[in-house]
Structure 1
Amino acid sequence: MAIPTTNRAVVATASGPVDVLTDTELDVPTPGPLDLLVEVRAVSVNPVDVKLRGGALPGGDGPQVLGYDAAGVVLAVGDQVSAYAVGDEVYYAGSISRPGSNQQFQLVDEKVAGRKPASLDFAEAAALPLTTITAWETLFERWRLGADSTGTLLVMGAAGGVGSIMVQLARQLTGLTVIAAVGRPESREWVRELGAHHVVDRTDLLAEVTAIVPRGVDFVLSPFSAGMVETYTQVMALGGSVVAIDEPEGVDTLPLKWKSQGWHWEFMFSRVIHDPESTAHRELLDEVSRLVDAGTLRSTLGTRLSPIDAATLQEAHRLLESSATIGKVVLAAG
């Protein structure tokens, strides 16, 4: 494949409101030894994208290319790449230390890219990587659960990106009873279709969960943890465990001590940062591709937009800021 000379991109010119997202043109990057040069066909937007744009640009003041999740086609490879060839279709969550996916041509290390599920289009695939790695590591590494594991799991924010794949993974790959907490009526059918055994109203959490499991739940996934520690203490069983995926300021976990409960953190880029030679994310995404193509898992795409440009990304960021989305918001190339 011929390598283009122009790279259309969306940059955050500074931290601030959505209108800091601006169209521009960049040079097409040259692959390093282990890099794939990917023509990006679709990207999804995550809460971290909104957070970074709003006030915490990773490299200081802009302009910067944001975005993590992507799916696309390999256009060129570095001279030490062994897992992929030109023309392969891949999907990935990228890196926090490199320019993001909101560009036409992106470099990604082959160790963190998986083979795109053949049964999904690019937009459906782009919905999955970051949230799936987060949910997978939570279940199978933080909690060390497996196919024979039992107990009860409460998924907070179950209609969101991480929640939507967590419900599926727990239902399909463990013996857990899955309780999905949602805040809106339209979210109920979504999480039931994904496999939740029970659905509860997050505004009446303690009463509704206790009615299902009087002894309390064993595990809680927490994407919104501020002000929730006391509630989790009450809703969990003796020795229960929370995994939080957000960054609440000043969270006090001492109330959990009364019932010998635990609090853990999940940050999917920890492995990339601290074990950069690991191929675990590639292997995880390849396994998820097999599960998707076998019909065990499905995409969590909820809203599809097009094209990948500043105006559409601004719309996507507004949707996430509204807290009214179900599943993932994905942008497909025009």
Structure 2
Amino acid sequence: MKAFGAYNNEISSITEFEKDLPMLRAHDLLIQVDAISVNPVDTKVRQGIQEGLDSPKILGYDGYGRVVKTGTETHLFNIGDLVYWAGDVTREGSNSEFQAVDERIVGNAPSKLSVEKAVAMPLTSLTAYELIFEKLAVSTEEVDAGKTILIINGAGGVGSIAIQLARKIAGLKVIATASSPDSIAWVKKMGADYVINHHEDLPKQLASLGLDSVDYILILNAVNQHIDAATRLIAPQGKIANIVEPGRPINLDRLAHKSASFSFEWMFTKAVSQTADIESQHRILDQISAWLDEGIIESTFTQNVGELTAKNLQKAHQIIEDGHSIGKLVLVNRKN
């Protein structure tokens, strides 16, 4: 099969090569990949390659395609089903003609969306859902409606979905951060009630909105920069969740007397650690599909970079690394 991978940490090392079809594990599906989306994790994994590899590392942590073969212990899908998924960072990714993926982290693809809009959603939707409904323990039944959430970096891939889930599913009052005119407009389009600037004093800006604290906080970028403000702003018994590795110790002392919590979210934990609740990701993706098809939430797809080629993958990685992209970048192998 045709595949695309990186030999080293340079963007220019992404190349096309031939590889045997992957062997299936018991819970695996073999999926013909029709489209992929590029996320910051793709660039981070590539940047983490310490030296030249003998065989390129296949990246790609969003995919859309059709099931062509099933493993010996599969039960959720049939051959021919259209599916979407975010994969497992410890296995070969979606930047290839075919990929083997554990069916328990695969969802039925939305039926009313284009390929581009569908493939943009898995990784960021799983992350946002787990952040809000698992780590923050917000109810999906609007039990927490009216409570406040601050989403730091609202215009990013995860932030764009988190705003929608918090506002449209949970009924929270959403304060999101953005800085440029384009990102501010995007965050408002996603449904944020208020927008503030993460480059400026967050407590002061919240005070101007009549808020001295918030019930929930998501830190989706620069945790070291924002942790001081977050621990000041979180309400007693509030919850903070974060997706960023600090790289150095962070001070959480202020949370103690507030009985407030701080938790990490890594979307790949369930797959990598084979946790008992791994199949929850299948159910989450199916729920996201239903919300998309019903028009309750919308895709964050913004740019089709072109056909899945080494050149276009290099282009997508460069756009991500330049740090100015809004929404999701997609590459398409074939239309369905």
Distance in 2 (CA, whole Å) between partners of 1:292 and 1:319 is 26
**Where does the alignment leave 5 or more consecutive residues of structure 2 unmatched?**
none
How far is 1:20 from its partner?
1.5
Question: Secondary structure of 2:57's match?
Answer: coil
AA matched with 1:186: D
Q: 1:61 to 1:184 in 2, by over 3 A?
A: farther
How far is 1:236 from its partner?
2.9
CA-based RMSD of the aligned residues comes to 2.1
Question: Secondary structure of 1:318's match?
Answer: helix
**Number of the residue aligned with 1:4:** none
Distance in 2 (CA, whole Å) between partners of 1:77 and 1:102 is 20
- TM-score normalised per structure 2: 0.91
- TM-score normalised per structure 1: 0.92
Distance in 2 (CA, whole Å) between partners of 1:258 and 1:210 is 23
AA matched with 1:206: P
Distance in 2 (CA, whole Å) between partners of 1:216 and 1:125 is 36
**Number of the residue aligned with 2:239:** 241
1:218 aligns with 2:211: no
Q: Which moved more, 1:255-264 or 1:303-312?
A: 255-264
**Number of the residue aligned with 1:296:** 296
1:153 aligns with 2:149: yes
How far is 1:199 from its partner?
1.2
The answer to whether the 8 Å contact 2:303/2:330 transfers is: yes
Of 162, 178, 181, which aligns to 1:182? 178
1:263 aligns with 2:239: no
Distance in 1 (CA, whole Å) between partners of 2:123 and 2:49 is 19
Distance in 2 (CA, whole Å) between partners of 1:60 and 1:220 is 40
Distance in 2 (CA, whole Å) between partners of 1:249 and 1:310 is 32
**Where does the alignment leave 5 or more consecutive residues of structure 1 unmatched?**
1-6
Distance in 2 (CA, whole Å) between partners of 1:283 and 1:316 is 30
1:13 aligns with 2:3: no
1:116 aligns with 2:116: no
The answer to whether the 8 Å contact 1:253/1:263 transfers is: no
**Number of the residue aligned with 2:76:** 83
User: Identity percentage over the alignment?
Assistant: 35
Question: Secondary structure of 1:202's match?
Answer: coil
**Number of the residue aligned with 1:324:** 324
**Number of the residue aligned with 2:203:** 206
Distance in 1 (CA, whole Å) between partners of 2:51 and 2:195 is 37
Q: 1:262 to 1:55 in 2, by over 3 A?
A: same
How far is 1:38 from its partner?
0.8
Distance in 1 (CA, whole Å) between partners of 2:299 and 2:51 is 29
Deviations 1:235-283 (A, max 9, x none): 3334433211011211312343376243211112222233455311101
Q: Which moved more, 1:253-262 or 1:104-113?
A: 253-262
Question: Secondary structure of 2:232's match?
Answer: helix
The answer to whether the 8 Å contact 1:218/1:240 transfers is: yes
Q: Which moved more, 1:147-156 or 1:77-86?
A: 77-86
The answer to whether the 8 Å contact 2:130/2:265 transfers is: yes
Deviations 1:45-100 (A, max 9, x none): 11111111112479987521011111111122223322212211000011122111
Distance in 2 (CA, whole Å) between partners of 1:276 and 1:61 is 32
Deviations 1:108-163 (A, max 9, x none): 11111100000112221111111111111111111111121141111111111000
**Number of the residue aligned with 1:3:** none
- Equivalenced residues, count: 327
AA matched with 2:154: A
